[in-house]
Amino acid sequence: MSARPVRLACAIALISAAALAYQLLLMRWLAIAHWHPFAVVIISLALLGHGASGTALSVLRERAVDRFDAWFPAAAIVFALTAAVCLGLARALPFNGLELVWNWRQFLWLSALYLCLALPFFFAAACFGLAFARHGDDIPMLYGADLFGAGVGAVLALVMLWLVPVDVALLLVVLLAPAAAVVMRGLASRTATCAIVAILVLVMLATTRALAPAPNEFKGLAKALLVRDARIIAERHSSYGWLAVVASPRLPLRQVPGLSLNNLQEPAPQLGVYTDGDSLSAITRNDGKRASLAYLGRTTSALPYRLRLRPRVLVLGAGAGFEVLQALALDARTVRAVETNPQMVGLVTARYGDYAGGLYRDPRVQVQVAELRGFVRATTARYDLIVLGQGGSFASGSAGVTAVAEDYAATVQALRDDYVRLAPGGLLAITRWEKQPPRDALKLFATAVEALRAEGVRDAGVQLAMIRNWDASTLLLKRGAFTAGEIERLRAFVEEFSFDPVHYPGMRAGEGNRYHALARAEAFIGARELLSPRAQAYVEAYKFDIAPATDDRPYFANFFKWATLPELWRLRAQGAAVLLDSGYLLLLAALAQAMPLAVALVLLPLLALPRRDEIARGLRLRVLAYFACLGLAFMLIEIACLSRLTLLVGQPLLAIGVGLAGFLLFAGGGSLCAQRWRHDPARSIVLAVCTIALALAWHFAVFALALRVGASWSPWLRAILGLLTIAPLAFAMGLPFPLGLSRLARTVPALVPWAWGINGCASVVAAIAALLLAIEIGLATTLLVALGLYALAAAVWPAQYRSTGSMSSDQRSLRASGKA
């Protein structure tokens, strides 16, 4: 083997690693700068860059191949430079997803952001396309290098996030691209000089933090820093998010959700710990004096401590320790605090341990870093009280920016897991921000009712209680029926602190809506209806989606209903705009602009190719339908599996990184193996679809087993389990495309660029549409829809011969065109 193919393979691996690492880190950058991680949008725009690049190379094929030695290193260097420049442009664009409802210009800014961030992927993909076109005989080795580099890039991105800020990580990983140009051409060349200049520019930008993400002006961190003398006093970076600790000496933070208006005591000052510029978790100053924390007993979340004396408490999602401090202040016997982010625990334990009064070092407290669902499934202990940490942000929750984010801690299955870990008579307590009209409270209540019924409880109402304040509501789910004594203590508690009951066993209609009066006691009415035989009709008629959240539809914060959209849209100028979930609308807007952009950049340029009018119209339509179905189906499965992997792995970015690398690796393996099936493409495609169906069954079965077996495993080991669940599926999904393309290349080569283009367009659109579909019909059904698309692809693909051995109409069309 000559040295040149080996050097090219090394260069391809470096560029592939840089591109995938850049893609993953871009999700983190956008999560800080905006309200969303934009995961599916990033995947979509990366596919747009790849599709547009493939189209450009199809149009410029001969010229591009002839100038490979100059264009390949140039594309690598330009990828690195545009990655930095486009990041700066994205930082400067005045895009704000919260304004999409009333400001049409934001749609244009979204398109600009989409195109801007897609540009670097155009040049990265150009490197791959040029290499494959020029060195066709070395494609297996080059393809293997591409896949190996992608895997390395996924690991590199996750490691870099623990070492440096995300903007520095972004610039450092793209240094691999100019390094690839040097590997390809050597040091003694003009290319090497350009690459070195690019490296120096990127290093300078990384050193000066010139491209650090600026949090949205409406995020909690941005608002907190408007206070005079408020400043960030500590930062932590990891794949779990960017933690920023804010001190405000002049006007200290004092956040106490659900605090009674009857409270006359000033809450203790706090340090705010913001995750990705929002989602506040507060470290409360603790001077060790019991009286200074008495106000913690005057909140809605203090109710369970009135019903259970000296309980053994489990806090899931302990964060900076508010719920742990409340438990100790209200005489908890022991507290087990479980938190997913080790850096959050480190801040409370070490850096600000004295400020917090040694909260996490208290002998009554045992702190454990673990994924919440996995911990609950793995433990055998029973608790008198399980508290779900509130977390989140009042502002982001009200605006609906988390509507498209998975929340596997608040599903029917999660509540069932928690219920099993309760001691007899134990309580599960969940506090949520209050909204009007009620959404979170009713959805949580509906989810709890469904969880109890799934556990075999006939009368769920006797085991549920809920109260509300002006800003928060607290739900209690008991293992067993509430006693008359507990109901009396609940009534005395709400009376003492002027809370409004939403539901408790035996509650009368006139007892609610007294202190925080609303025009209509919708929360009370909703709870009553959700416990009645009319529950399903009530959920369907309600103006917002309050159907129980499940592991199959884990989008707890999504309340969007298409039936309500026209009414809210008409009333948006009167304040109804805040009732439209901005996260869902942003996804719709991204889909609306992705479709025309994909057509314009991937398909329309192909019109410049010579036309072959002799190709039968029916054949052309069936071929293009085949490749469109493949693009749609592949992305539907990939996006749905990434969401499911989040449940298994427990860390979203790790799940996405491992999932993307796994799909690339195993689908690539399937593509290489497809070369052995080319002798009978029509039959092979049917066999490939059957293999996908079997592999999908494998995924469902092994995934369910992995959830049970790997509950106590570390995230990385669970990620390996996740790879096992998708490996056969991804491998099988890699078969149909090369099988169809290889036959097309032998019979109607003029359609090959169009097959690539239509497949690319479908993939760009499906990446976003998959999440919208999963929100509406569930992840499992989305996977089955994808399987149906694969079956449709096999059905529309032109058969080579009829069963009688005579030539099919499509084969005759091929012969007529002179290409069969």
What are the tens digits of pLDDT across the range 205-218?
A: 777 778 889 888 88
**Cα angle: 549, vertex 553, 554; to 5 degrees:** 65
CA distance 371 to 712: 9
Q: Would strands 500-503 and 365-369 be described as parallel, antiparallel, or unpaired?
A: unpaired
**Secondary structure of 23-57 in HEC code, one letter for each residue:** HHHHHHHHHHHCCCCCHHHHHHHHHHHHHHHHHHH
Is 80 exceeded by the pLDDT of residue 811?
A: no
Q: Residue 401: what pLDDT?
A: 62
Q: How many Cβ atoms are within 10 Å of 420's Cβ, its own excluded?
A: 12
Radius of gyration of the chain from Cα atoms? 29
Q: How many Cβ atoms are within 10 Å of 395's Cβ, its own excluded?
A: 17
Eight-class DSSP state of 778: -
* Mean pLDDT of the 133-149 span: 78
What the block records as the tokens of 133 is 């076109």
Terminal alpha carbon distance of the chain? 35
Report whether 273 contacts 258 (CB < 8 A).
no
Q: Residue 615: what pLDDT?
A: 58
Report the length, in residues, of the chain: 820
Which amino acid would we find at residue 427?
Answer: L
Backbone angles phi, psi at 270, to 5 degrees: -140, 160
What the block records as the tokens of 187 is 């040091």
Is 50 exceeded by the pLDDT of residue 49?
A: yes
Q: Dihedral, CA atoms, 757, 759, 762, 768, nearest 10 degrees?
A: -110
Eight-class DSSP state of 548: P
Look up tokens 């801690």; give the residue: 409
What are the tens digits of pLDDT across the range 163-174?
A: 999 988 998 888
What are the tens digits of pLDDT across the range 581-603?
A: 778 888 888 999 999 999 988 88
Maximum CA extent, the chain: 92
* Mean pLDDT of the 70-88 span: 89
Mean pLDDT, the chain, whole residue set: 86
Q: Residue 1: what pLDDT?
A: 42
Could you tell me which residue, 618 or 785, shows the higher pLDDT? 785
Q: How many CA atoms lie within 13 A of 265 on its CB side?
A: 16
For the chain, what percent of residues have pLDDT higher than 90? 52
Is 80 exceeded by the pLDDT of residue 74?
A: yes
What are the tens digits of pLDDT across the range 297-312?
A: 999 999 999 999 999 9
Q: How many Cβ atoms are within 10 Å of 59's Cβ, its own excluded?
A: 15
CA distance 683 to 685: 5
CA distance 587 to 759: 21
Is 90 exceeded by the pLDDT of residue 771?
A: yes
What the block records as the tokens of 810 is 């499509």
Name the band, by pLDDT with cuts 50, 70 and 90, for residue 817: very low
CA distance 122 to 126: 6
Q: How many Cβ atoms are within 10 Å of 94's Cβ, its own excluded?
A: 10
Is 50 exceeded by the pLDDT of residue 803?
A: no
What the block records as the tokens of 524 is 């009370």
Report whether 43 contacts 31 (CB < 8 A).
no
Q: Residue 553: what pLDDT?
A: 94
Q: Residue 246: what pLDDT?
A: 96
Could you tell me which residue, 612 or 50, shows the higher pLDDT? 50
Run of H or E including 233 = strand 231-238
* Mean pLDDT of the 483-500 span: 95
Q: b/e for 644-683, b at 16 or more Cβ within 10 A?
A: bbbbbbbbbbbbbbbbbbbbbbbbbbbbbebeebeeebbe
Q: Would strands 270-275 and 365-369 be described as parallel, antiparallel, or unpaired?
A: unpaired
What are the tens digits of pLDDT across the range 501-544?
A: 999 999 988 888 888 888 788 899 999 999 999 999 999 999 88
CA distance 357 to 325: 10
Residue 252: asked if its preceding bond is cis (omega within 30°), the reply is: no
Look up tokens 């005759």; give the residue: 812
Backbone angles phi, psi at 473, to 5 degrees: -130, 150
Q: Write the CA distances from 621 to 52, 311, 344, 683, integer angstroms.
A: 21, 68, 56, 20
Q: 246 in the Ramachandran plot: left (φ > 0), alpha (ψ -120 to 50) or beta?
A: beta
Eight-class DSSP state of 460: G
What are the tens digits of pLDDT across the range 650-707?
A: 888 889 989 988 998 898 888 878 767 666 666 788 888 999 999 999 999 999 999 9
